[in-house]
Amino acid sequence: MPKTDPVDLTAALVRCPSVTPEEGGALVLLQEVLERAGFTCTRVDRGEVSNLFARWGNRGHARSFGFNGHTDVVPLGNPDDWSMPPFGAEIRDGMLCGRGSTDMKSAVAAFVAAAVDFVQDTPPDGAVILTITGDEEGDAIDGTMALLDWMETQGEQMSVCLVGEPTSPNHMGEMMKIGRRGSMNAWFTVAGKQGHSAYPHRALNPMPAMARLMDRLASHELDTGTDHFDASTLAVVTIDTGNAATNVIPAETRACINIRFNDIHTGEGLSYWLHDEAAKIDAAFGTKTEVKIKVSGEAFLTPPGPLSDLIGRAVATETGVTPELSTSGGTSDARFVKNHCPVVEFGLVGKTMHAVDERVEVAQIEQLKAIYTRILGDYFAQ
């Protein structure tokens, strides 16, 4: 059987207009490719989100290697800003162009191609499992979480998992992710009493209270970092009052912060701190503050060991570069997978992800398939 070309498969996926939560034909295409190679495929759709589970080998094997990825992409922005068709998958000067080419249809194509060829060339003593979602770029509620919920009910288990997100800042093989910071948002509404600005004693101005609260939060040092994580950060991202009148003290004002936290903290602990800080401000100013919090993911770490060693050796062999072990960047679906099994992320250079004229080097797609193939071979040879 001819080898599976990851570049052709990437191009076919890019031509699928799968802007979250649209499936766009991407999972239908992948299911056809995988089923022809003997994978058992199941659509695990939930809500408006399309997901695909694929397994080669018998359920209940003592060991199984998993890949996780997504085929949904972010919106285009202004289509007129693109210099080529966003879903055209044109190849120019050795670059495959189009939305999702970097994040992360190339990696999905690479691990699908690697898995298909591997199980046909050297059928392993174990299972190969692919979990592919259409909701990573969205709310991420009905994507990988739905797949993992379904796997639990079906008795499906990955021993380890590799997430194919772009991980290298500048050149191929530079970095893998062995963990991620936690992320949370908090919205504050400080209520006072509206009044005339000439008679401030008759009003209760929420603005000074909000200013003091935001300053206290932004000035606080959460920590100085850990062995594998940088210091946690807190950013005030907006303060909104919407008061256009210069002679009116507003009744309320609103603000939002974002916290990226390391494994010293938990979302619950930080939530308690935020509520406590708001209460102190209310006690000082006489205001009433409502706090709403959403924790997008907890910080996690897959300690350096067998899985990171396995991936690092394969990357070094294929690229000549030993990848740095990192926990930098935003969130990914690894934050859900880590509750199921040990997980590491490795993928392409991410310079153009989410950008206009998103593109990837064709040679990197082929190299990524070779890395994933070597990882599979080394894992099942152990």
pLDDT for 277 equals 98
pLDDT in tens, 95-127: 999 999 999 999 999 999 999 999 999 999 999
SS3 218: helix
Among the candidates 236, 265, 297, a domain finishes at: 297
Strand partners, 360: 96
Domain of residue 239, residue span: 182-297
Residue 336 falls inside a structural domain: yes
Both 76 and 154 in one domain: the answer is yes
Is the backbone peptide bond immediately before 95 cis, with ω within 30 degrees of 0?
Answer: no
Share of the chain residues as helix, strand and coil, in percent rounded to the nearest 5 = 35, 25, 40
Indicate the number of domains in the chain: 2
Residue 315 falls inside a structural domain: yes
pLDDT for 382 equals 84
pLDDT for 179 equals 96
The continuous run of DSSP H or E covering 158 comes out as: none
Both 243 and 334 in one domain: the answer is no
Tell me what the mean pLDDT of segment 228-251 comes to.
97
Both 289 and 307 in one domain: the answer is no
Catalytic residue among 136, 156, 298, 361: 136
Both 28 and 93 in one domain: the answer is yes
Both 305 and 168 in one domain: the answer is yes
Stated length of the chain:
382
Are 198 and 205 in contact, with CB atoms under 8 Å apart?
no
Residue 161 falls inside a structural domain: yes
DSSP 81: G
Residue 239 falls inside a structural domain: yes
Both 148 and 243 in one domain: the answer is no
pLDDT for 331 equals 86
Residue 1 falls inside a structural domain: no
> pTM (2 decimals)?
0.90
pLDDT in tens, 340-374: 999 999 999 999 999 999 999 999 999 999 999 99
Are 326 and 227 in contact, with CB atoms under 8 Å apart?
no
pLDDT in tens, 214-224: 999 999 999 99
Both 233 and 303 in one domain: the answer is no
Among the candidates 272, 297, 322, a domain finishes at: 297
Both 198 and 141 in one domain: the answer is no
The continuous run of DSSP H or E covering 31 comes out as: helix 26-36
pLDDT for 305 equals 96
Residue 374 falls inside a structural domain: yes
For the domain that residue 193 is a member of, what is the CATH number? 3.30.70.360
For the domain that residue 62 is a member of, what is the CATH number? 3.40.630.10
Give the number of other Cβ atoms within 10 Å of residue 356's Cβ. 15
| Residues 55/67/17/363 CA torsion (nearest 10 deg) | -120
SS3 163: strand
Separation between Cα atoms, residue 24 and residue 329, nearest integer Å: 28
Active site residue 252: no
pLDDT for 1 equals 67
Active site residue 22: no
